[in-house]
A and B are shown apart, each in its own frame.
Chain A
Amino acid sequence: MLHIAILIPFLWAALIPLMRVLPRIHPGWAVLPVPVALFAYFISRMPQISSGETLAVTIPWMPGLGIDLSLVLDGWSLLFALLITGIGAFVVWYSMFYMGKTSNSIHNFYIYLLMFMGAMLGVVLSDNMMVLYAFWELTSVASFLLIAFWYRRERSRYGALKSMLITVFGGLAMFAGFNLLYTMTGTYSIREVAAQAGGLTDHPLFLPAMILVLLGAFTKSAQFPFHIWLPDAMEAPTPVSAYLHSATMVKAGLYLVARMSPIFAGAAEWFWIVSLTGLITLFYGSFKAIRQTDLKALLAYSTISQLGLIMSLLGIGSAAAFYTDPAQVAFFGLATTAAVFHLINHAVFKGSLFMVVGIVDHETGTRDLRRLGGLMKLMPVTFVIALIGSFSMAGLPPFSGFLSKEMFFTAMVNIRSFDALHAGSWMLVLPIIAWMASVFTFVYSMILVFKTFGGKVKNDQLDKLPHEASIGLLAAPVLLVSLALIFAFIPDTLSYALIDSATAAIRGGGTTPESVHVSIYFWHGWTPELWMTIGVVLVGLLLYLTYTRFRVLDREWSGRDTLNRLYNGGLSLLENGGRRTTDLYMTGSVRHYLIYIFLFLIAALGGTLLLSPDITFGMEDYAPITFYEVVLVIVMLAASAAVPFARSRVNAILFTGAAGYMVTALFLIFRAPDLALTQMIVETVSVILFLLCFKFLPKLKWEKEKPTFKWTNLIVAGGVGVTMTLIALAAMGSSPFEPISNYFLNESYELAGGKNVVNVILVDFRGFDTLFEIMVLGVASLGIYGLIKLGVKTTP
């Protein structure tokens, strides 16, 4: 059934174009049943999964390569499957009211969306790393298509390309990492690799594999410094931003990190890389979010920051792997539970916040914070949704974000006593960064609500008078955001249903949902976490009221983004550098290409000759040199040497011909009459053809001047000559085999009835070659015929 769940979105996507026959019905109605049905199916599996079972299906795909469509549904996959289908349903609903149905490309929108949904389900359900990779790249492709949905806008295309380049870069790194894991373990199955994880830590490929896999996860999840694609992906339609770039796809990296935790956790590098990257991203994202003036950009940086938060929790949760004492494991493992819980919360409030921004954009025509304000009275429902979403994001009671933020602080406070890596008081840095980032989070959450909905309406800045959105548009965010309230009041139910089984899956190693259960409740007593939250609210409020006075947080300052400039500069450097390098050697001059070829020939052959130890220049097999040979060679050398110095072309041809006739004579004294005959006739014909050619050279360019002398040509020509001579001598000196010519000489008459051995070889022993040589001649003559008779007569 699992594989059908993955296939359904793809099959359905293929059917969507058929909706064109019903132009009056929005195609979204046809799409909606898919996520709803899948959600219902995954919900129905929940009791089974939360009791600690897993569902597994394997369909052979490429068994010879160890690649099978093996799907596993455990707590962690189920959580994602529910997010994908649940939020998918909300987003499809929302998009029906958000996107007009008049546009013809609306069908494309839903095809891409379904494709994405299926790919994302494939990512979270695959147990086979290669299948996971395939679906992973498919999510990149679907995201690319969706970002560039309004492909006539330049910014959309830029954003799509950027996200594609970065995520595919990471995807390929991850692919390499998977293959390294395969090299180490001999299996592509994640569960089987995790089963042998204990022995991997000392393997030399362990660290490269970890870093490569993390590259994939970090680029997909927009971790620092790969986050730069996410703000530019905000050019996508808002339902896409809500779905892909806040709730699902960007969490694929988190999914992967958690999925790989049983393999890599326990290595110090994993702990540091994941936690610190997460924390840096958390801090940087929240800091940058304050300086945004575009609502979606603010939400993009906020998403980056929240993803960093979850990532750091996953890293810190891996600290539990250093301990065996159950109390300490639970003490540090709390972070993992917090990560899972916050992941759910973030999907809920960020999805609804994006929808709110979409509604504001839809009703006012702008997302610019400087033009917005005072929408509270005009759009009360939207305001309430934004309020709940933002307060949940800021971590204020009584919303679910408060609970997960408290757990985040607990984890950060706990990590101070983490002593397995002997970091000592350096561990104190982690909670401090986390606390500062939370202050920024509070500030931008307040900006999001009160700059948009508070204050006065700036009617002169808006194109139309805003009013409350339709019920259809409001339904999805209202339902989503109410989840933030519901989860806040029944956290333990959620915990038993989802979080515990997900945490157990991340921990791996046979942990059961019961053993990792953490009770979540509002009131902990006067703990450090609570004081931290109170501090966040107080400092945050102070900062919110005064932040425009700080130059660092000032908006004017935000135009300068070093990382984006680095990306753009790097890209143009690559393009220009590539073009310049190509222009440097691809000159279009045949002379240059010949020089490259000959130089390579000299280097390869001469180098081999120099480096091979067993090449000898023995002279014992040489025949005695006769007088006629000497004379002929001298004449031939003179004729050849005269060619480059010939003052006219006709002379050069005649010298070439002379050298050719000397070859004829050489054939004669070497007793090759057939060759001599042929050589003579062919030489004559080619000399005549050369003369013909030069007779018809265009008059304009017909210059009777001496060929220009170039040192490079001399060196290259000399080098080739010396190299080939040496090779010929070496070949003569060290030939260890008997020639087969004796066989031909002996058997020519007996087997073939001929005494002219050359001819017998040509027509009998090796007639096959002759057949194709006359074929070559035929093709050449037809070529000449075609060139002359059919050639375009444009030459002057």
Chain B
Amino acid sequence: MPKGSDIFLQNVSKIVVFIILAFALYLFFTGHVSPGGGFIAGLTSAGALLLLALAFDIDTVRKVLPVDFKLVMALGLLIALCTGTGAFFFGEPFLKHAFGYFHLPLLGKTELHTALIFDLGVYLAVVGVTMTILITIGEDS
């Protein structure tokens, strides 16, 4: 982090990052019924992490999230792929989704959908991709 670090930015970031992440989480879960989805949620989450990197530095992001984002991306792709191939076990074609309504504690009647798992894959892949690009370029310059 450059020496003239911005105390306001840093402190605001500490709060705003969580708000953005929460918004991203909302976008992710609501995607099936209203605007949102894995792609946008992924980009928004990456935006939160980018803000963190701007306010502090990339090492902080690394410390907060000690993961290799290339692996995150790969994991996302793997999940998306597995959602597709999972349909095979039920004698269905590739990427055939299933859904049902369940009563869950706290949430009440909830729709559970395999498309959500696919979206999770998209989400992780997008976060991984964006962060890989940003960290790679950022570290180079």
Measured CB to CB, the residues of A under 8 A from B are 673-674, 677-678, 681-682, 685, 689, 692, 696, 752-756, 758-760, 762-764, 767-768, 770-771, 774-775, 777-778, 780-782, 784-785, 788-789
B62 within 8 A of A: no
Give the chain B neighbours of A778 by CB distance below 8 A. Answer: 73-74, 76-77, 125, 128-129
| Chain A residue at minimum C-beta to C-beta distance from B41 | A677
Given contacts A692-B141, A755-B32, 15 further A-B contacts (CB under 8 A): A673-B35, A678-B39, A752-B99, A755-B34, A756-B32, A756-B35, A759-B31, A759-B32, A759-B36, A759-B37, A762-B39, A763-B119, A777-B73, A778-B76, A778-B77
Say if the beta carbon of B80 comes within 8 Å of chain A.
yes
Q: From residue B85, how far is it (CB to closest CB) to chain A in Å?
A: 11
B40 and A677 contact, CB distance less than 8 A: yes
A764 near B97: Cβ-Cβ < 8 Å = yes
In angstroms, Cα B94 to Cα A764, docked, is 11
| Inter-chain contact total with CB atoms closer than 8 Å | 124
The 6 lowest CB-CB distance pairs between A and B, nearest first, are: A673-B35, A754-B32, A753-B99, A755-B33, A774-B125, A781-B129
Q: Cβ of B130: which chain A residues have Cβ within 8 Å of it?
A: 685, 781
Instruction: Scan residues 114-141 of chain B and give those whose CB is less than 8 A from a CB of chain A.
Output: 115, 118-119, 121-122, 125-126, 128-130, 132-133, 136-137, 140-141
Instruction: Contact check, B32 vs A771: say whether CB atoms are below 8 A apart.
Output: no
Q: Is B14 interfacial (CB 8 A cutoff)?
A: no
Q: Chain A residues near B119 (CB, 8 Å)?
A: 759, 763
Interface centre among A674, A754, A781, A782 (most CB of B within 10 A): A781
How far does the alpha carbon of A789 sit from the alpha carbon of B84 in the complex, in Å?
33
Assess the A753–B111 pair: CB atoms within 8 A.
yes
Residues A763 and B129 in contact, CB atoms below 8 Å apart:
no
Min C-beta distance of A90 to chain B, whole Å: 72
Q: In the complex, what distance in Å separates the CA atom of A764 from the CA atom of B84?
A: 10
Give the residues in chain A near B80, CB-CB below 8 Å. Answer: 770-771, 774
Interface string of B81-92 (1 = CB under 8 A from A): 100100000000
Q: Report chain B residues within 8 Å CB of A696.
A: 141
Q: A696 CA to B119 CA in the complex, in Å?
A: 36
B137's partner among A677, A682, A692, A763 (CB-CB below 8 A) is A692
A767 adjacent to B137 (CB under 8 Å): no
Chain B's nearest CB lies how many Å from the CB of A697? 13
Residues of B within 8 A of A752 (CB): 97, 99, 115
Docked complex Cα distance between A754 and B112 (Å) = 11
23 inter-chain pairs at a CB distance below 8 angstroms, sorted by A residue, are: A677-B35, A685-B43, A753-B113, A754-B33, A755-B32, A756-B32, A759-B119, A760-B32, A763-B122, A767-B115, A770-B122, A771-B84, A774-B77, A774-B121, A774-B126, A775-B77, A778-B74, A778-B125, A781-B128, A781-B133, A782-B132, A785-B70, A788-B140
* Minimum C-beta distance from B2 to chain A (A): 16
Chain A neighbourhood of B133, CB < 8 A: 780-781, 784-785
Q: How many angstroms from the CA of A689 to the CA of B27 in the assembled complex?
A: 25
Determine the residue in chain B with the shortest Cβ distance to A676.
Answer: B35
Cα A770 to Cα B80 with chains together (Å) = 9
Q: Return chain A residues, CB-CB under 8 Å to B140.
A: 788
Please, how many angstroms separate the alpha-carbon atoms of A489 and B137 in the complex?
96
Name the residue of chain B whose CB is nearest to the CB of A682.
Answer: B43
CA A13 to CA B61, docked complex, whole Å: 72
Interface: B44 (CB within 8 A) = yes
CB A670 to nearest CB in B, in angstroms, measures 14
In contact, B125 and A777 (Cβ under 8 angstroms): yes
Question: How far is A692 from B126 in the complex, measured between Cα atoms in Å?
Answer: 21
Give Cα A758 to B115, complex, Å: 13
Q: Are B95 and A756 in contact (CB under 8 A)?
A: no
Instruction: List residues of chain B with CB within 8 A of the CB of A762.
Output: 37, 39
Question: How distant is the Cα of A678 from the Cα of B126 in the complex, in angstroms?
Answer: 12
CB distance from A231 to the nearest CB of B (A): 67
Q: Is the pair A681, B32 in contact by a Cβ cutoff of 8 Å? A: no
Mark B33-68 against chain A: 1 for CB-CB distance below 8 A, else 0. Answer: 111111110011001000000000000000000000
Contact status of A774 and B136, CB under 8 A, knowing A756-B32, A763-B38, A763-B115: no
CA A774 to CA B84, docked complex, whole Å: 14
A788 contacts across to B, CB distance below 8 A: 136-137, 140
Q: Which residue of A lies closest to B139 (CB)?
A: A788
Q: Are B37 and A789 in contact (CB under 8 A)?
A: no
Of B39, B74, B95, B129, which one neighbours A780 at CB under 8 angstroms?
B129
> Which residues of A lie under 8 Å from residue B33 when comparing CB positions?
754-756
Q: How far is the CB of A762 from chain B (nearest CB, A)?
A: 7
A762 to B44, CA, bound (A): 18
The answer to whether residues A756 and B77 also contact, given A764-B97, A768-B95, A782-B70 and a CB cut-off of 8 A, is: no
Shortest Cβ gap from A554 to chain B (Å): 80
Shortest Cβ gap from B98 to chain A (Å): 9
Chain A residues with CB under 8 Å of B74's CB are 778
Bound-state CA distance A771–B80 (Å) is: 7
Nearest opposing residue in chain A for B81, CB measure: A771
A768 cross-chain contacts in B, Cβ below 8 A: 84, 94-95
B122 & A754 in contact (Cβ 8 Å cutoff): no
The complex places the Cα of A762 from the Cα of B42 at a distance, in Å, of: 15
Quote the shortest CB–CB distance from B27 to chain A (angstroms): 8
Residues of A within 8 A of B136 (CB): 781, 784-785, 788-789
- Chain A residues with Cβ below 8 Å from B34 are 755-756
* Interfacial chain B residues near A674, Cβ < 8 Å: 35-37, 40
* Chain A residue at minimum C-beta to C-beta distance from B101: A753
Q: How far is the CA of A785 from the CA of B80 in the complex (A)?
A: 22
**How distant is A679 from chain B, measured CB to nearest CB, in Å?**
10
Most B C-beta atoms less than 10 A away, residue of A673, A681, A767, A788: A767
A674 to chain B: closest residue by CB: B35
The complex places the Cα of A678 from the Cα of B130 at a distance, in Å, of: 14
A782 to chain B, nearest CB (A): 7
CB-based contact B129/A753 at 8 Å = no
Chain B, range 1-48, C-beta contacts under 8 Å to A: 27, 31-40, 43-44, 47
- Would you call A753 and B77 a contact (CB within 8 A)? no
Q: Which of A678, A753, A767 contacts B40 (CB 8 A)?
A: A678
B residues near A756, Cβ cutoff 8 Å:
31-37
Which residues from A are CB-within-8-Å of B128? 778, 781
Q: How far is the CB of B70 from chain A (nearest CB, A)?
A: 7
Contacts of A689 in B (CB 8 A): 137
**Is the CB–CB distance between A754 and B115 below 8 Å?**
yes
CA distance A777 to B80 in the complex (A): 14
* A696 to B141 CA separation, bound complex (whole angstroms): 9
Rounded to whole angstroms, the CA-CA distance of A560 and B133 in the bound complex is 71
- Which of chain A's residues have a CB closer than 8 A to the CB of B122? 763, 770, 774
A334 to B99 Cα, complex, angstroms: 94
Q: Are B132 and A785 in contact, CB atoms less than 8 angstroms apart? A: yes
Measured CB to CB, the nearest residue on chain B to A774 is B125
Q: How far is the CA of A677 from the CA of B126 in the complex (A)?
A: 15
Q: How far is the CA of A784 from the CA of B129 in the complex (A)?
A: 10
Residue of A nearest to B35 (CB): A673
Docked Cα-Cα span, A685 to B35, in Å, equals 20
Q: Which residues of B contact A673 (CB under 8 A)?
A: 35
